[in-house]
Amino acid sequence: MARDVRPLFCTTHDTPLGPIGLAATSHGLSSLMLRVSPEGFHDYLLNSHGLTPTPDPRPFDRIRLFLDRYFVGKQIAFEGPFDLLTGTPFQRRVWATLLTIPYGQVRSYRWLAETVGNPGAYRAVGAANGANPVAVLVPCHRVINHNGGLGGYSGGIDIKRWLLALERVPLAALLPQLRLDGLVNQQRSA
């Protein structure tokens, strides 16, 4: 069976988080990588997809418009199209479920595991989040620990915190409950 080889286009785009890399085929967006250099992103695409990307900003006009609106605090819901060239069927189910989390809201890894039909698979959904090839637009930053902790983020916890603040998620609500209880108990005893 012949491999489906689609042309892969790429560009970088300046954001408040620094330059991001965008890659797409004629079928949709396939990669959004935070904090990249054009050369590093080109090499990543070549190594991860086995395709030689063609630098061309034109296919990304709509995506850049969405990103610019998002990064000034406008509520957006980017629905694609996506052409996810990597990922197992499980990872793709997780990524599709991430698209159901509304702007300005968070869900837990537990919720995500239950929603994709694997209730005990917290670590597996966390790993799938970390492998998300379209960060920000497939909003893996909206997934936190069930106790309110931020959890991890492949782009760095500082970026996750920044994205949640941009979406006006009250960061105090994300602190682990035990830590909050400890602060309340300290204030009572003072």
Which class for 22: exposed (0-12), middle (13-18), buried (19 or more C-beta within 10 A)? buried
Is 3 within the bounds of a domain?
no
Helices (H) and strands (E) in the chain — how many of each? 7, 6
- pLDDT mean for each 10 residues of the chain (190 residues): 68 94 91 89 84 85 94 87 87 94 93 94 93 93 89 89 92 52 42
Residues 6+ apart with CB under 8 A from 158: none
Is 80 within the bounds of a domain?
no
- In tens, the pLDDT along 22-52 reads 999 888 999 999 989 888 888 888 888 777 8
Q: Does 64 lie in the same domain as 107?
A: no
Enumerate the active-site residues: 140
- In tens, the pLDDT along 148-160 reads 888 888 888 999 9
In the chain, the number of structural domains is: 2
Domain CATH for 129: 1.10.10.10
Q: Does 97 lie in the same domain as 35?
A: no
Q: Does 104 lie in the same domain as 166?
A: yes
**Residues of the domain holding 114:** 89-177
Q: Does 104 lie in the same domain as 61?
A: no
Please give the Cα distance from 20 to 81 (Å, whole number): 19
The pTM for the full model equals 0.83
Q: Does 119 lie in the same domain as 61?
A: no
Contact 152, 130 (CB under 8 A): yes
Is 21 within the bounds of a domain?
yes
Is 4 within the bounds of a domain?
no
Q: Does 66 lie in the same domain as 139?
A: no
